[in-house]
Amino acid sequence: MTDINTNEEVSKKSLNFIEAFVASDLAEGKNGGRMQTRFPPEPNGYLHIGHAKAICLDFGIAEQYNGICNLRFDDTNPEKEDTEYVDAIKEDIEWLGFKWENIYYASDYFQQVWDFAVKMIKEGKAYVDEQSAEEIARQKGTPTQPGVASPYRDRPIEESLDLFNRMNAGEFEEGAMILRAKIDMASSNMHFRDPIMYRIIKFPHHRTGDAWKAYPMYDFAHGESDYIEGVTHSLCTLEFEVHRPLYDYFIDQIKTADDYRPRQIEFNRLNLTYTVMSKRKLLELVKENLVNGWDDPRMPTICGFRRRGFTSTSVRNFIDRIGYTKYDGIVDVALLEHAVREDLNLKAGRVSAVLNPIKLIITNYPEGQVEMMETVNNPEDESKGSREVAFTRELFIEREDFLEDAPKKFFRMTPGQEVRLKSAYILKCTGCKKAADGSIEEIYAEYDPQTRSGMPESNRKVKGTLHWVSAEHSLPAEVRLYDRLFTAENPLEEKDKSFEELLNPDSLKVLTNCRVEMSLGEAKAYDNFQFQRLGYFNIDPDSTSEHLVFNRTVSLKDSWGKMKDKR
Ligand code: ATP
Ligand code: MG
């Protein structure tokens, strides 16, 4: 495994290397003092949290320097793209809290980019190659060995122009020919060995339909699109660093103004432990039904995290913390979960829910009596006030909170021992009823009426405090518990194992028999709560008033906080 990015302070400062470039360009008066970025997703899948890192940078730095950021769909691969993805991408950016200045599509520039290519052919800087992809690959050479020139390299300009037009008219099959830049087959930068500019794709485009049959490659289209739009700082991930000379080269072939050229700056990708961070890989999980769609709460997609109950603030705080560097690494997902807890601690209302209920009967509590117990909604936020929760003779508590033969340090419910019920009374357990097979069916206890929360006697020293719900005044609910999607820290490193083999069999557990306090019947989809003693949960959009469904966002146990304390 590569280094786990645990040092927040170091990476926080390193955001400065991008800011420093921008600040110095502005100080030198470059681009007439303009500052413009773009976020350029390919609409071939839903955005993941790695994209959130790029979004926070592209939009954030534009805001910081009074510039603008446009959303550009990099739609040059019609076979893989779809308007479904376009819509989802817009929704996710808005959810993160960013606003684009304009929406553009690389396909808007197909004519202009085509004209640039024609200009290059006319200047003898591009040619149509009719060799197969395999042949071309064989001729590439190695970094230490020059490549072999294509026999078509020096064909007449007129011939290339004619073929280029016919490529686009649909006269040839896919793969029959391509347009290549004529640069340098001996260049030490492999990307300069006559890179491909255009290929034939006979698949309708989601925006331009059948108008085009020849489509530009990323290396050609991306820089030209940046140039056409007037992007000043083109921020992208580190794998494009080796493409930068080619990016500059292509722009140099077409640029007219002396004073302007977009500047590409690279930063490290976000990788997270126990998941994969690539739309293509995530699509595989969706297609093979290994997850329940792109917004499955176990997915590292923005919509998956949203459905799981992560807040946009927590995602942005996490991105701020990991910062931007020049080194690739892998970030512990526990740091993201830590950011989620931090934010939900401030925002989520505390409520009672019992995931694995067993009935508790308070034998000395009057039948039919209902007391309303005042409960603070969020101890971290006084303005959230309090509510009243019904207390009755019959309650539900967690099955795990009772043991008939308990070890000494079991401070929960066991015969003869006192325990406190949160916001209610102190109880002494008196026994239980067992079924023929030995399983516990009911628990019995007596309460001390002098110990109601707030009374002087309630301060009596009792070690355990349990959560509970009233049997009558509670609602049935389904609760979905999520864990890491993969068992491997870095699934892509496990080359000889399939996704299916690497999947964590316990990544989803559905509990159908839970009970939650009455007030949750009014909650709306995506509302966040803390189930006391259990963790943070939210309402899943599948939830209805007849059938409540909750997702566990994160448990209360903070493995990141612990790791930090140890350091
Ligand atoms: P994927 O393999 O997931 O499709 P991509 O890089 O091909 O990733 P694009 O839609 O082309 O996805 O990316 C849009 C922008 O998001 C690019 O600028 C890209 O560099 C950035 N980006 C993609 N993945 C990450 C990541 N893991 N961390 C940071 N930025 C990313
Ligand atoms: Mg891509």
The finding on whether 40 has its CB within 6 A of some atom of ligand 1 is yes
Ligand number nearest to the C-alpha of 86: 1
Ligand 1 pocket residue status of 80, Cβ below 6 Å: no
* Contact of 96 with 55, CB cutoff 8 Å: yes
Q: Which atom of ligand 1 is nearest to the CA of 43?
A: 10
Separation between Cα atoms, residue 81 and residue 68, nearest integer Å: 26
Distance, in Å, from the CA atom of 179 to the CA atom of 170, rounded to the nearest integer, reads 15
Report the separation in Å between the CA atom of 51 and the middle of ligand 1, taken as the mean of its atom positions. 6
Closest ligand to C-alpha of residue 73 is: 1
Positions of E strands within 377-425: 386-391, 394-398, 418-421
DSSP states of 60-72:
HHHHHTT-EEEEE
Count of C-beta atoms within a 10 Å radius of residue 148: 15
pLDDT at 3: 43
Separation of CA 89 and ligand 1 centre (Å): 12
DSSP of 269-292: PP-BTTS---HHHHHHHHHTTSSS
The CA 278 to ligand 2 mean position distance, Å, reads 8
Residue 1: per-residue pLDDT = 37
The DSSP bridge partners found for residue 301 are: 48
Domains of the chain in start order, with CATH, are 16-267 (3.40.50.620), 279-349+477-566 (2.40.240.10), 353-467 (2.40.240.10)
Distance of CA 384 to the CA centre of its chain: 29
Structure-block tokens of residue 134: 């395999």
- The answer to whether 251 touches 245, Cβ cutoff 8 Å, is no
Report the alpha-carbon distance of residue 429 to residue 131 in Å, rounded. 84
> How far, in Å, from the CA of 482 to the mean position of ligand 1?
26
Token pair 């230490």 is found at 144
Rounded to whole angstroms, the Cα distance separating 546 from 477 reads 9
| Residue ranges of the chain whose pLDDT lies below 70 | 1-15, 259, 559-567
Task: Answer yes or no: is the C-beta of 412 below 6 A from any ligand 1 atom.
Answer: no
What number of CA atoms fall less than 13 Å from residue 515's CA on the CB side?
A: 18
Our mutation pick for probing the ligand 1 site, out of 38, 39, 51, counting the most ligand atoms within 8 A of Cβ, is 51
Q: What is the pLDDT of residue 510?
A: 98
Q: Is the CB of 349 under 6 A from ligand 1?
A: no
- Write out the H or E segment, with its range, that includes residue 237: strand 233-237
Cβ proximity of 88 and 196 under 8 Å: no
With CA atoms as reference, report the closest residue to 53 among 218, 271, 340, 234: 271
Q: Is 441 exposed, middle or buried (0-12, 13-18, 19+ CB in 10 A)?
A: exposed
Which residue CA neighbors atom 2 of ligand 1 most closely? 278
Catalytic residue among 42, 241, 380, 404: 42
pLDDT of amino acid 9:
44
Q: Which-ligand-closest: CA of 71?
A: 1
Our CA angle for 291, 296, 302, nearest 5°, is 130
The pLDDT, as a whole number, for residue 11 is 45
- Alpha-carbon distance 319 to 269, whole Å? 11
Evaluate whether 246 touches 189 at the Cβ level (below 8 Å): yes
Scanning the structure block, which residue is given the tokens 């039904």? 289
- Ligand 1 close to Cβ of residue 200 (< 6 A): no
Residue 41 CA, ligand 1 centroid: distance in Å: 7
Q: Are 195 and 180 in contact (CB under 8 A)?
A: yes
Choice from 237, 273, 315 to test ligand 1 binding pocket (greatest atom count within 8 A of CB) = 237
pLDDT score of 395: 98
Choice among 53, 72, 193, 279 that is catalytic: 279
Instruction: Tell me the pairing of strands 465-466 and 418-421.
Output: parallel
Measured over the CA atoms of residue 76, residue 77, residue 81 and residue 85, the dihedral's sign is negative
CB 286 within 8 A of CB 280: no
- In this prediction the pTM is 0.93
Residue 91 is among the residues annotated as catalytic for this protein:
no
pLDDT of residue 258: 73
Look at residues 219, 217, 231, 160 and name the one whose alpha carbon lies nearest to residue 189. Answer: 219
Name beta bridge partners: 350.
530
- Ligand found nearest the CA of 41: 1
Residue nearest to atom 22 of ligand 1 (CA): 51
Ligand 1 contact, 50 CB (< 6 A): yes
Contact partners, residue 253, CB within 8 Å, separation at least 6: 116, 119, 120, 123, 125
Does any ligand 1 atom lie closer than 6 A to the CB of residue 42? yes
Instruction: Tell me the three state secondary structure of residue 248.
Output: helix
Q: 42 an active-site residue? A: yes
Atom of ligand 1 nearest to the CA of 41: 10
Q: With a 6 A CB cut-off, is 279 part of the ligand 1 pocket?
A: yes
Cα(43) to centroid(ligand 2), Å: 9
Closest to 444 measured CA to CA, from 337, 542, 370, 359: 359
Establish whether residue 280 lines the binding site of ligand 1, counting it when its CB lies within 6 angstroms of any ligand atom: yes
Residue 269 annotated among the catalytic residues of the structure: yes
pLDDT of residue 256: 85
